[in-house]
Chain A
Amino acid sequence: KAGVTQTPRYLIKTRGQQVTLSCSPISGHRSVSWYQQTPGQGLQFLFEYFSETQRNKGNFPGRFSGRQFSNSRSEMNVSTLELGDSALYLCASSWGLNTEAFFGQGTRLTVV
C-alpha cells in the first residue's frame, strides 16, 4: 500500500510569488491535514479537509489556502510568499475520526 505522497519535495521561490503544493493520501483515506514545520515554531496545524470540506483551520493568514478533490487528493496554496514562509510543509492523511494519521515526506519550501 502506497504511503502519503507529497510533491514536489523541494521548491525555491522568490518573495511575492505564489506556490502550490500537492498531497496524495493513502488510498481510502478521506481526511488530509496540512502542517508547517519551522525550527522556531515547530509543527503548526494549517488546515484539515474531509470529503472536500474544510473541517478545521489553524491560525494562519488568508494567504494560506487549500482544497481537496473528489479523489481525496489535496493541494495547498500560498500566495504573495514571504521569507518567513520558508519551512517544511507536511501533510497527513487518516481514514476518519480517531484513527492513525500518517505523514508524507514533506515539501521543503525556500523563499528567497
Chain B
Amino acid sequence: SQELEQSPQSLIVQEGKNLTINCTSSKTLYGLYWYKQKYGEGLIFLMMLQKGGEEKSHEKITAKLDEKKQQSSLHITASQPSHAGIYLCGADPTGANSKLTFGKGITLSVRP
C-alpha cells in the first residue's frame, strides 16, 4: 500500500519568513493533493497536482510535483499567522480518485 511521509513533522517560523514542507511517496504518484486543517475542523483544499513537473500557486502558496522523486513540496512565501495549521498531503494510489491516502501532517506555527 502507498505511504506518504511528510517532513518536517512540525515547524515554527517567524512571521514574514519563507518555508518549504515536503511530502514523499513510497509509490508512483498519480495525483497529489494538499490540504490545510485547523485542529478539529475539516480540511481546506489548497491544490491538486497531477503531472510530473506541475507547479501551481495560490496567493502566497506554491506547490510542485516531482514525479521522478515521487515527491511534492509546498512553499509559503512571507508567512503570516493565518498560514498556521496542519498541512496534509494526500495521494491517489490508483489514479481513480476514489481513495486517498494521507500523510500524518505537518503542524505549522507562525510567530508574530
Contacts and interface: CB of A to CB of B under 8 A. Distances in A.
Interface in B83-101: 88, 90, 92, 95-101
A58 B99 contact: yes
B99 A42 contact: no
Chain B interface, DSSP helix/strand/loop, else mixed: loop
Interface residues of B, number: 25
7 contacts: A35-B102, A43-B88, A92-B100, A94-B97, A100-B45, A103-B35, A106-B40
Contact of B105 (A6, A42, A58, A105): A42
B41 A55 contact: no
Interface of A: 4, 6, 31, 33, 35, 42-43, 45, 48, 50, 55-56, 58, 88, 90, 92, 94, 96-106, 108
Given A105-B42, A106-B40, 14 more contacts: A31-B97, A33-B99, A35-B100, A43-B88, A45-B100, A45-B101, A88-B40, A90-B42, A92-B43, A94-B97, A97-B96, A98-B96, A101-B45, A106-B42
Interface of B: 31, 33, 35, 40-45, 48, 50, 88, 90, 92, 95-105
A56 B44 CA distance: 23
A108 B102 contact: no
Given A88-B40, A100-B48, A48 B104 contact: no
B97 A96 contact: yes
Contact of B100 (A4, A50, A88, A101): A101
Q: A101, A103, A104 — which one has the most chain B CB atoms within 10 A of its CB?
A: A101
A96 B102 CA distance: 19
Contact of B41 (A48, A96, A105): A105
Contact of A33 (B50, B95, B98): B98
